[in-house]
Amino acid sequence: MVLIRDGEAGTARLRIAGDFSAVLDLVPDPGILAVDMPIGLPDRLLARGRGAEQAARRHLEDRQSSVFAVPSRDAVYCEDYSSACDVAFQTSEPPRKVSKQCFYLFPKIREIDGLMTPDLEMRVYEVHPELAFWRLNGEQAMSLPKKVKSRASGPGLDQRRELLVSCGYSPEFLDQKLPSGCGRDDLIDAAANALIAKRIHSGIAEPFPKDYQRDGKGLRMAIWA
């Protein structure tokens, strides 16, 4: 995760947290946590995903595929791929299974879902890096992909790095030697998400969609930017 003090990118620090509970227990309290994971899970998936995903995709042009559809809560809580596909198929209209890419994220989604409450929504907000870059780029989707054939793409990452520098990050911070388990794309995404946390703190971020719904636990289903 990237932490910025007083909303200033020049104060940025990189921090590795083992799990979501460790993030919630950070001292001092970051105030606003922008989380790049789905928050709020549908009981039944309709059309092309939650309203949050559909609203975000409308702005992303060629980057739409980076926003995947989250299946039902029952499907997310399946621990093997075959069962997850079966449950997702039964709880979606039109019926659809689960991509392997999405399935591999289920443990993290379950972890966050197990800890989130409506009260935590004053601190914790769902974000998405490509929607963050859209916002930071004057509401224009990035022209280059961040990944090509599931591998980080140098030109796409360089384009995003340049935008982040223009937003106040130092080149030294963005080019630092990274700890094990943290890729360059992870740092760049986290840096963009931290700027959305700043927007949320300032009261100028918007939810997508504006007329978001809540799930069975009372959690809002919205991506902020």
Q: Is 56 left (phi over 0), alpha (psi -120 to 50) or beta?
A: alpha
Residue type, 156: G
User: Using CA atoms, how far apart are residues 195 and 136, in angstroms rounded to an integer?
Assistant: 8
CA distances from residue 3 to 9, 16, 74 in whole angstroms, order as listed: 9, 10, 33
Q: Residue 110 has what pLDDT?
A: 98
Query: For 1, which DSSP code?
Result: -
Sign, CA dihedral 95-73-62-187, equals: negative
Residue 13 exposure: Cα atoms within 13 Å on the Cβ side: 7
Q: Are 27 and 221 in contact (CB under 8 A)?
A: no
Q: Residue 97 has what pLDDT?
A: 94
Q: Residue 181 has what pLDDT?
A: 87
pLDDT in tens, the chain (225 residues): 999 987 688 889 999 988 999 999 988 888 999 999 999 999 999 888 899 999 999 999 999 999 999 999 999 999 999 999 999 999 999 999 999 989 999 999 999 999 999 999 999 999 999 999 999 999 999 999 998 887 889 999 999 999 999 999 999 999 999 999 899 999 999 999 999 999 999 999 999 999 999 999 999 999 999
Q: Phi first, then psi: give them for residue 68, nearest 5 degrees.
A: -90, 155
User: Using CA atoms, how far apart are residues 43 and 50, in angstroms rounded to an integer?
Assistant: 10
Token reading at 90: 């039964």
Residue type, 62: D
Token reading at 158: 């360089």
Token reading at 121: 């929504």
Q: Residue 28 has what pLDDT?
A: 84
Q: Residue 72 has what pLDDT?
A: 97
